[in-house]
Structure 1
Amino acid sequence: MKQQAFLERINPVKDKMYRLALRLLVSKEAAEDATQDVILKLWNQQDKFKDYTNLEAFAMTVTKNYCLDELKAKKNNNLRIVHQNYENKSISPQRGLELKDEMNWIQEIVTDLPKQQRIVFQLRDIEQLDFEEIEEVTKMKSTAVRVALSRARKKIRERLTNKHDYGITKN
């Protein structure tokens, strides 16, 4: 496979790979490095592409495994979510501070989720993968994926509700 053909197949999933790496690793730099390393790995294994019916799921699986290996190697000892798509130049400074506080709170909630729930939540609700792709990426059964997603959503909802209820009663 020529370089141009390879890039045409990888470019549509490159951003999703980066976002998954960003969710699992500590920093943007680590996520960028991970994405580049995975793309290089995929380039070296391009002869195996014909064995996979879904290149996106394969690339996401390789990305997830690479990031988990990095974490296991103690290169990164903290997991956290970094989300900066909420920046909007036209909002007031107070609203910006509120949004930042809310994103930090959500980051903390998702970080506290068990690893499987965190990954399934990321893949389904953030990356918008369908359940079959999530099963392929995580090597989990359909029921386990749905249960993990349900539990993750429930924990997030409960913690957000408790925070807001607590904030209302304290004011």
Structure 2
Amino acid sequence: MNQTVFIELVNPFKDKVFRLAKRLLTSTEEAEDATQEVMVKLWNKKENLESYNSVEALAMTMTKNYCLDQLKSKRASNLQIVHNNFTDREPRLDKKIEDEDSLEWVEKIINQMPEQLQLLIQLRDVEQYEFEEIAKIVNMNETAIRVALSRARKKIRESMINTHLYGTK
């Protein structure tokens, strides 16, 4: 496989690799390093890439594993998932503040969840991966992923309701 073919193969999902690394590592510099490391590993496997069903799933799995290894080596206990892809047509200031506050609450709730749930939420709800792709990346069956996500979303919803109803009864 020559360089041009390789670039055409990895370019469509290179940004997803970076976003996943950024979500897991939180630092832009570390995410850039992780992305570069994954791309180098893919380059080293370039002769065998065509044997994989999904090179993108392979890259995302490599990214997840690399980032988790980095976090373990730093003994980081919590991951920060930040959804900064949110854009809107300049809502009113009070709505903007309310939305930012809600996002902060959701982020706090997610950060209290186990790393596996954080990763599932990132892949499904932020990156919009299909369950089949997520199953390959995290090595779980689709039913277990659906159940875990359902429970995680329910916990987020209940926590948000309790937060907003606090002091109203």
Aligned equivalents of 1:66 and 1:39: distance in 2? Answer: 12
Aligned equivalents of 2:72 and 2:114: distance in 1? Answer: 16
Q: Which residue of 2 aligns with 1:145?
A: 145
Q: CA deviation at 1:93?
A: 4.1
1:73 aligns with 2:92: no
Residue 24 of structure 2 contacts residue 81 of structure 2 at CA under 8 Å; is this kept in 1? yes
Size of the alignment, in residue pairs? 169
Amino acid at match of 1:13: F
1:55 aligns with 2:55: yes
| Deviations 1:49-90 (CA, angstroms, capped at 9, x unpaired) | 122111111111111111111111117554101222335573
1:24 aligns with 2:16: no
Q: Which residue of 2 aligns with 1:34?
A: 34
Q: CA deviation at 1:99?
A: 2.7
Task: In structure 2, list runs of 5 or more residues that go unmatched.
Answer: none
Aligned equivalents of 1:96 and 1:31: distance in 2? Answer: 28
Superposed structure 1 runs of 4+ greater than 4 Å apart: none
TM-score of the superposed pair, with normalisation by structure 1 = 0.88
Q: Which residue of 1 aligns with 2:131?
A: 131
- Seen in structure 2, the aligned counterparts of structure 1 residues 86 and 131 have a Cα distance that, compared at 3 Å, is closer
Q: CA deviation at 1:26?
A: 2.6
Aligned equivalents of 1:136 and 1:121: distance in 2? Answer: 15
TM-score of the superposed pair, with normalisation by structure 2 = 0.89
Q: Which residue of 1 aligns with 2:4?
A: 4
Aligned equivalents of 2:142 and 2:48: distance in 1? Answer: 26
Aligned equivalents of 2:149 and 2:92: distance in 1? Answer: 34
Q: CA deviation at 1:3?
A: 1.6
Residue 117 of structure 1 contacts residue 151 of structure 1 at CA under 8 Å; is this kept in 2? no
The alignment-based identity, stated in percent, is 52
Residue 20 of structure 2 contacts residue 64 of structure 2 at CA under 8 Å; is this kept in 1? yes
Q: How well do the aligned residues superpose, as a CA RMSD in angstroms? A: 2.0
| Deviations 1:114-141 (CA, angstroms, capped at 9, x unpaired) | 1221111211111111111111100112
SS in 1 for 2:116: helix
Amino acid at match of 2:103: M
- Seen in structure 2, the aligned counterparts of structure 1 residues 103 and 40 have a Cα distance that, compared at 3 Å, is same
Aligned equivalents of 1:27 and 1:161: distance in 2? Answer: 31
Q: Which residue of 2 aligns with 1:159?
A: 159
Residue 60 of structure 1 contacts residue 137 of structure 1 at CA under 8 Å; is this kept in 2? yes
